[in-house]
Structure 1
Amino acid sequence: MTSFISEILANLQKEGHYLPDLTFILPSKRAGAYLKKQIAGCYTKPVFSPAILSIEEFAEELSELKTLDTTATLFEFYSVYLSLTPKEQAEDFENFSNWAQTLIHDFNEIDRYLVPPDAIFNYLSAIKDNEHWSLQDNQTDLVKNYLSFWRKLPEYYTELKSRLLIKQEAYQGLVYRQASEKAATFAKEYAQNYVFIGFNALNSAEQLIFQQMLDQKAKVFWDIDQVHFEDPDHDVSLFIRKYAQSWPYYKSEELERVSSHYRTEKQIEIIGIPKSIGQAKYAGEILSQLTPSELNSTAVVLGDEGLLLPMLNAMPKNIDALNITMGYPLKYSPFSSLFEKLSDILKAGNENYYHKDVISVFSNSIIMKASKQEAEVAIQHIKSNNLLYLSKTQILELFTDETGLKIAHCFPSHNNSAKEILLDFSNLIKWFKAEIKEDEDKINLEFLYHYHLVVEELLKLVSNYPHIKSVSSLHHFFKELISTQTLDFQGKPFQGLQLMGMLESRVLDFDTVILTSVDEGTLPAGKSNNSFIPFELKKTYNLPTYKEKDAVYTYHFYHLLQRAKKVYLLHNTDTDSNMGGEKSRFLIQLEIDNEPLHNIKHSVVIPEVPAIHNELQVIQKTPEILEKLEQLANRGFSPSALTTYIRNPLDFYKQYILGIRDKEEVEETVAYNTLGTIVHDTLEKFYKEVIEIELSKEHLEDFIKRTPEEVEHQFHQTYSKIPLSKGKNLLILEVVKRYVTNFLKMEIKELAAGRSIKVKEIETKLTASLNIPELDYPVNIGGMVDRVDISNDILRIIDYKTGKVIQSQLEITNWEDITTDYDKYSKPFQVLMYALILLENQPTTVDAEAGVISFKNLKEGFLKFGIKESQGKKTIKNNVVNADTLLNFKAQLKKLILEICDPETAFYEKEIKIYGNY
């Protein structure tokens, strides 16, 4: 394949031009690098490189102005706005920026297309006067101010233009307008040495410059194929065809240079793939099948540049050399999330910092590394102490003095000025730079440098303009500047695979092209309206509309195909995408054109989704596991450990053998188990005061009076020291008070009914040994019994439950079920185990009962364990826990522990249901 650039250079040499003497103007800098390479191949001896400029650089050279970016222009515009707007009507900078950027875009278009500003602004003002919502003859102040704004647009434009020109600065459109005014003079002296290559859509200023240069013998080479140029309805040639018909120069001269490559033989494959990531993966598969020589003339062009990272991850192993034209967005760096979070924290404007925000900052990999893992310890402290909100002092106390001084820059006061906040960010950057080693982490240093540039740029703007007065405004412009920054890749631009966006493909040609995201809404991008100028007014003044923007995409698309031999066009078939999986109109047009030598193949690729069989896990017991079980037996099996095994042996293995526990997190709302802890601790505090004392009504009434204060105290001890005056936690606090108060009232009723109560034990840890001859090591059992009392000469072993329990859940009919059916018998298992531990240590001569007091079922009182036995046609229930009861339970308990400790019995996973609170 002979590329377009090669054809141009050969033509120039044929005409006798010495290439180093010429100045080349191209649509992009990337095309300039290719041009330089091709020129080097034209000579066998060393020559000086010719001047090669992008069209933007040429416009700057002509106008003798420095181009300002949108952010700098916005700051200058606000100064103009304040000088021309009455103080009582002027908006603050943040509100101003919401609409001013659109207005700057319109100023830019007006200048680029050489529209008379007064005419269009007066027209626009008249339209707004007709459109406003007031139907009364006497307009309100709001309507008057609204119309006054539109009438002032010419003043805003003129004053902004005047101020910028005095400083020899300009936004891009003004640069073009000024360049077009100087083009005629410049062309008379220098035009004969200028060559313009590969342009398509030109604004009015560029058209005027081109015509002035053409009239003075400059060369303009167009890259358009004959088949498209001669088709009056095809958008590929919309612009170039118009120039050929309307420019005076082309009345007598031919257009250079129309080619005829599009109709040559091409293999075109249109491939539908679900999801954008799927397209990146499949593009990688296509590349894996190409030879090294094919890869050297292959380009992957991303219709959606957001696919850069997935495409890089999908690169196959056969890619030895890769040149990436697009920049790596700064937003993907580890610093992006950190500075974004710091800005969000500042914008919230709270005196105390929310724990999730603080943890998010500390969890950032850069903070972790720079703090030498002190941040990790700080996170654990926040979680273990359930600190919902932290003051800056509390945060700094979590670190050593040296690290604390650095961490302080992460939490500047929201009362600080924008400059002070930016200086904090600057100090953070210096800290990170000192901690990052260049030889180990070059990419993060490069990211850090770009953040340094952003902060310095903002500091410069803040110093020159006093406009940013709120953290919110600072946050907005910080994000604005970061969005424009990219990390440029360094590679060998003329070797291996080329990865680029659509705009970077201008003027360049490849044998093999892989184009992704050929979807409606992406290629072309569709309608957008970031302008105050109505569509009809744009048409009147020849400003670009969506029609012209679509034609630009059309040209780029067909240019990629023009000289290519193999083309892979990938589109999204996923109906959940923005356009519902609709393929681009370009693909439909390719089919309609039906070129004879174009072999178009259609295919749909569906990713292979293997069937997933969810098999229950089985963990065989190893010597190490058996050793852990022996240690656990020595320490003592608890009721919760054994019921965990009954429910699901795999959970027992994870929790008690591997030691895997639920991840500790800060509780924003009191969890149900925390609520239970507060109830238990409150009752423990009260009843410890009456151990071995006959309980009286006076005791309980005193406890009721003290309940609100004691519950709040326990709440702070267990949960957090934050105020409990609002939100869900206030409701939960009141629920706990109600639970405790209702329980104490129930006890009073019991006493009033003639029941005597003497508390023997409260929240007592008990242990007992269990004789199991089959095991050659001692086995212990233990647990924390909530309460043991003597009521009417009956020993009661009581387990508190803050969830709802009913009597039937504490009754059994078959002893073997108690260690196999968790759903039905976990509660009797627990209370019998407490009874066994207690009575093994403290044999009693009185009758014993074991059971539950349910705080959601207090009206039922003490729910007793019972054994249902059939006697003839009757079923009787025995609630007494006697020697026979304990003997039967002990037999089942030993059987269960033998199963747990049996080397041949694996830990089998059970299919379990998810239940509510217990």
Structure 2
Amino acid sequence: MTTFIEEVIVNLQEKGLNLSELKFILPSKRAGTFLKHQLSSLTAQTMFAPEILSIEDFVESISGLKTVSNTELLFQFYTTYITLNTEEHPDSFEVFSKWAQILLQDFNEIDRYLIPQEKIFDYLSAIQELKHWSVQAEQTEFVKNYLAFWNKLHAYYTHFTTHLLEHKLGYQGLVYRQADARVSEYIQEHNIQHVFLGFNALNTAEEAIIQHILEHTNALIYWDIDKTFYENPVHDAGLFTRQHAKNWKYFKTHPFNWITENYKTEKKINVIGVPKNIGQAKYIGNILRDLQNSENKLESTAIVLGNEDLLLPVLNSMPDFIERLNVTMGFPLKSIPLASLFESLFNLHKNNPKAFYYKDVISILSHQFIRPLFFENEKDEATKLIETIQTNNIVFLSCADLVALSESFKPVLTLLFGAWDYNASKALSCSKTLILALKNHLNEKKDEHVLSLEYTYRFHELFNELERLNTTYKYFQSISALHQVYKELLSSETLDFQGEPLQGLQIMGMLESRVLDFKTVIISSVNEGVLPAGKSNNSFIPLDVKLENNLPTFKEKDAVYTYHFYRLLQRAEQVYIIYNTEPDALAGGEKSRFITQLELENIHTLKHAIATPTVSLVEQKLKTVAKSPLVIERLKEIAKRGFSPSSLTNYMRNPMDFYFQKVLKIQEYDEVEETVAANTLGTVVHNTLEDFYKPLVGKQLTEAHLTEMKSKISNTVLHHFEITYNKGDITTGKNLISFEIAKRYVLNFINSELKEIKAGRIIKIIAIEADFKRVKINIPEFDFPVTISGKVDRVDEYDGTTRIIDYKTGKVNQSQVEIIDWDALTTDYDKYSKPFQILCYAFMMQSSGTLKFPLEAGIISFKNLNGGFLKFTKKDKSGNGATKITAIDQETIQLFEAQLKVLILDIFNTEIDFLEKEISH
């Protein structure tokens, strides 16, 4: 394969020209690097390298102006806006920057295409006047301001450009307009032969400059267009070159070099649909493995990313055998981990809150760059701080709160969470100090943190630039304005890769591929909306005005992409075109029209394929854990200390949960309880009732007791919320509702007790929160002790009948405490978990000799207080109808004990594994 650059060099040599004395002008700097390399390989003798410039650098050298960055332009333009705007309340810089970016783009286009400024601005304001229609004779204030804006556009432009020219500065369009005005002067000053090569779409200023140099000097120009596209009057790949050949006066007397015939040569074109962007990146890695196996050493292979956001996934998908790699695009700063840290800090301080939401605080404390700052004597203070926040349910924290929790790290915490006070200067100062703190830490182990140090250096430069802009212009009236400019700079800045630009595999964007040729080309994201980019109207200039003034529209932009796409294919021998099979309206739609066009041309045979990741079907099996000797030993320890009723019901529900929680002692992750959880509410209600009833043990309940309790409800509930919910806030929102619900539960319960007393019932409190430890279960099969332990909420006498009461803050119905099938007591959790717990309490109390038969046991449900005391009930279906028995006697206890033994034997049975159950939610 002979590349376009090689063809140009050979032609110049055949003309007998001294290459060292030429000035080469190319579309990009990247192309210049390849030109220099080809010159060295095609020249037998030692020579001085010629001057090689990109078109932007060349035009800038003619103009005598210095190109200013977009961000700097925004500040310069705001100076113009403030100077010319006599309104009482002009737009703030933050508001201004949102529409000014678009207007600057329009200024740029107007100048690049040499449009008469006054004419187009008058045209635009006249259009807006025509658009305005109102039956009212007088215009509203809004309409007046709207029309005034359009009438001022020409004044904005004139003042702005005059200011820039006075300071020898310019944006790209102004540089081009100035260069067009000075091109004759440039020719007189520079007696050198120019060679233009590889151009396609040119703006009016570029056309005028190049034509002037061609007509008045011995300059040469080389195009790279294939005959297939050039001779087809409707093919967009040849749109611009056909226009240049037809319209340029120079080509009336000079040949049009060159129209080549490379496209029709045999090519292997593979069109592969891959789901999602990451899938494309992974598939590119597979293609490279195949190319390596086919003895293609990747020296003339290029990966062209239609969507440049794929750079990081593609780099992560590179096979290990690739030793040399050159990335043209630069690594975007917005993808660096430090970007997420400063984004979090800006969002945290933007509105200057008095306290910060705990998730935002944890996010910053957990950041990979921040966490090392909290290490002291190999102790991770950040983790300790996060655990404290979670344990104490602290939903909102101030900087002072954080410092109080970790006094020794006050400087770092103040740096991160100290108020920015709506002050951009303070925000910049804090950010720069933080970067220096990070740098000092990373310097301690410099060899391990080379890349991280590079990150901090680039961000240091970025914040230095922000500080310079703030000091020079003083337009940052808020943190939001600073944040906006920060994001603007961040999106345009890159971290350049270091390496040998001419060796190994090449990774580039579509524009970097200009003038370059490769044997093997892999193009990703060939989808509508990406290649080509599709319609976008980010302009104040309407489409009809653009057409009238020969400004580029989406049609011309599509033609530019079409040329670059087909030019990559011209000399290539093997092509892989990859598209995303999952249409996304925001990030590219269905496969590109370019693919359909290749099919319709019918010049090359396209090999289509759909690639999907290999997904092995893994059968979802329920977990099982065998009962090893170590597990049995652990179970014996639990048995000696005492199984709790809740742990036994947990085993009934799901043996695997029992294994994790009791055998392995794995606790659930302790998150911040933003809103009061059901178990917290239950604990508060239980503890409140314990406080009220504990002093009455052994006494008969009276109206006076209950009336006194009612007066203490609010303070007692609040006290227990503060203990149980730690530092959680219960003064607002759902938590306040939970607080009121807890008070209402207690009040309703006491009122129900009061009603019973007034009705003449005699209630005597026997025990409150009775704690039974190590109540022995007689199991002859074991040679070790097995016990059961637990707390009974309340035991009382109701008109002489002993009652065992379990409080439930959830809703329980009578049917949920009834039992028919005793054999299902320890296996049917959903049906019998509550009767099992009730009988556990009865068994413990009876075994400890505390109570005598007969007795009753049951539940008081705070969500079903109207149901009263829900008694445990045996249902006997031996007769024609069901007989309900609520009294618990010795026979009941014996029946329960038999089932309890079955459950314990099951737990210790080494032939029965801990088996995960499918839990329906």
Fold-level similarity (TM above 0.5): yes
> In structure 1, what is the equivalent of residue 27 of structure 2?
27
Match 2:327 to one of 315, 321, 324: 324
User: What does 1:458-473 correspond to in 2, within 5 Å?
Assistant: 458-473=466-481
Separation in 2 of the partners of 1:568 and 1:492? 25
Look up the SS of the partner of 1:91 in the other structure. Answer: coil
Give per-residue Cα distances to partners, 1:187-207, cap 9 Å, x unaligned.
234263322221111111111
| Secondary structure in 2 matching 1:498 | strand
* Cα 1:476–1:581 shift into 2, 3 Å: closer
**279-288 or 737-746, larger mean C-alpha shift:** 279-288
**What is the match of residue 574 of structure 1?**
582
For structure 1, which segment, 361-370 or 764-773, has the greater mean C-alpha deviation from structure 2 after superposition? 764-773
- Deviations along 1:249-278, one digit per CA (max 9) or x if unpaired, are 111111222222111111112222232322
* Secondary structure, aligned partner of 2:477: coil
Contact 1:4–1:223 (8 Å) recurs in 2: yes
Aligned-partner SS, 1:645: helix
Q: 1:853 aligns with which of 848, 853, 860?
A: 860
| 2:851 paired residue number | 844
Partner AA of 1:32 in structure 2: G
Give the Å deviation of 1:581.
5.2
1:477-488 equivalences under 5 Å are 477-488=485-496
Q: Distance in 2 between matches of 1:187 and 1:228?
A: 34
Taking the aligned partners of 2:336 and 2:802, their CA distance within structure 1 comes to 67
Confirm whether residue 119 of structure 1 aligns to residue 125 of structure 2: no
Structure 2 counterpart of 1:252: 253
State the Cα deviation string for residues 15-58 of structure 1 (Å, max 9, x = none).
Answer: 22232332222212221221121112133455433222222222
Q: How does 1:526-565 map to 2 (within 5 A)?
A: 526-565=534-573
RMSD: 1.9
| Cα contact 1:757–1:792 (8 A) shared by 2 | yes
Deviation at 1:308, TM superposition (A): 1.6
Query: Equivalents in 1 of 2:732, 2:617: separation in Å?
Result: 50
Cα deviation per residue 1:449-474 (whole Å; 9 max; x = unaligned)?
A: 22112111110111011211111111
Q: For residues 840 and 640 of structure 1, what CA distance do their matches in structure 2 show?
A: 19
Deviation at 1:405, TM superposition (A): 0.3
Cα drift, residue 85 of structure 1: 0.6
2:457 is aligned with 1:449: yes
Give the one of 422, 432, 440 matched to 2:438: 432
Moved more, 617-626 or 417-426: 617-626
- What are the residue-to-residue correspondences of 1:816-855 with 2, within 5 Å? 816-845=823-852, 847-855=854-862
Q: Is the 8 A contact 1:20 1:48 kept in 2?
A: yes
Alpha-carbon offset, residue 105 of structure 1:
0.7
The runs of 5 or more residues in structure 1 that have no matched partner are none
Contact 2:659 / 2:914 at 8 angstroms: preserved in 1?
yes
Counterpart residue identity of residue 733, structure 1: F
* Aligned residue in 2 for 1:172: 172
Match of 1:672 among 662, 671, 678: 678
Aligned match of 1:306: 309
The within-5 A match list for 1:582-731 is 582-595=590-603, 598-721=604-727, 724-731=730-737
Q: Distance in 2 between matches of 1:124 and 1:624?
A: 85
Amino acid at match of 1:359: I
**Residues 99 and 720 (structure 1 numbering): CA distance in 2 closer, same or farther, change over 3 Å?**
farther
TM-score by length of 1: 0.96
Deviation at 1:871, TM superposition (A): 5.1
Aligned identity (percent) is 50
Q: Which residue of 2 aligns with 1:383?
A: 390
Counterpart amino acid of residue 521 in structure 1? G
Q: Distance in 1 between matches of 2:373 and 2:106?
A: 46
Q: Call closer, same or farther: CA 1:46–1:679 in 2, change over 3 Å.
A: farther
| Alignment match, 1:82 | 82
Alignment of 1:76-475 (within 5 A): 76-190=76-190, 192-215=192-215, 216-291=217-292, 292-372=295-375, 373-401=380-408, 403-436=409-442, 437-475=445-483
CA drift at 1:97: 1.1
For each residue in 1:718-772, what CA deviation from the matched residue of structure 2 results, as whole angstroms up to 9, or x when unmatched? 2254554432222222222211111111111121222222323323432123333
Deviates further, 339-348 or 317-326: 317-326
Q: In the alignment, what sits opposite 1:733?
A: 739
Mark the CA change 1:872 to 1:143 in structure 2 (over 3 Å): closer, same or farther.
closer
Once residues 349 and 535 of structure 1 are traced to their aligned partners in structure 2, the CA distance between those partners, rounded to angstroms, is 43
1:907 corresponds, among 900, 910, 914, to: 914
Alpha-carbon displacement from aligned partner over 1:598-630 (angstroms, at most 9, x marks no partner)? 232222334333334222221112232222222
Contact 2:67 2:171 in 1 (8 A): yes
SS at match of 1:13: helix
Q: Which residue of 2 aligns with 1:746?
A: 752
Shift of 1:151: 0.7
Please, what TM-score do these two structures have when normalized by structure 2? Answer: 0.96
CA drift at 1:515: 1.0
Q: Distance in 2 between matches of 1:901 and 1:731?
A: 45
3-state secondary structure, aligned to 2:42: coil
CA distance in 2, matches of 1:579, 1:865: 62
Distance in 1, Cα, partners of 2:314 & 2:191: 43
Q: Which among 869, 876, 884 is matched to residue 877 of structure 1?
A: 884
Amino acid in structure 1 at the alignment position of 2:183: A
Distance change >3 Å, CA 885–CA 668, structure 1 → 2: same
**1:129 maps to amino acid:** E
Residue 404 of structure 1: SS of its match in structure 2? Answer: helix
What is the rounded CA distance, in whole Å, between the counterparts of 1:17 and 1:576 in structure 2?
A: 53
2:415–2:434 Cα contact (<8 Å) kept: yes
Instruction: Give the superposition deviation at 1:554.
Output: 0.4
**Residues 163-182 of structure 1: CA deviation (Å, up to 9, x unaligned):** 22222222221121112211
Q: Match for 1:745: what amino acid? A: N
- SS of residue paired to 1:713: helix
Of the structure 1 ranges 129-138 and 615-624, higher mean CA displacement relative to structure 2 is found in 129-138
Label 1:111 to 1:574 Cα distance change in 2 as closer, same or farther (>3 A): same
Taking the aligned partners of 2:48 and 2:192, their CA distance within structure 1 comes to: 19
Partners in 2 of 1:690 and 1:174 — Cα distance? 92
Residue 868 of structure 1, aligned match among 871, 875, 879: 875
Question: Which secondary structure state, in structure 1, belongs to the residue aligned with residue 825 of structure 2?
Answer: helix
- Aligned to 1:207, the other structure's residue is in SS state helix
Q: What SS is found at the alignment partner of 2:804? A: strand
Match of 1:289, SS state, is helix
Output the CA distance in 2 between the equivalents of 1:580 and 1:8: 37
- Counterpart amino acid of residue 440 in structure 1: E
Query: How many corresponding residue pairs?
Result: 911
Task: Name the CA distance, whole Å, in 1 between partners of 2:691 and 2:283.
Answer: 67
Residue deviations 1:554-597 (CA, integer Å, cap 9, x gap): 000000001001111112222455588522111121122222xx
- Alpha-carbon separation, structure 2, partners of 1:268 and 1:391: 61
* C-alpha deviation, 1:398, in angstroms: 2.6
Change (3 A) 1:371 1:140: same
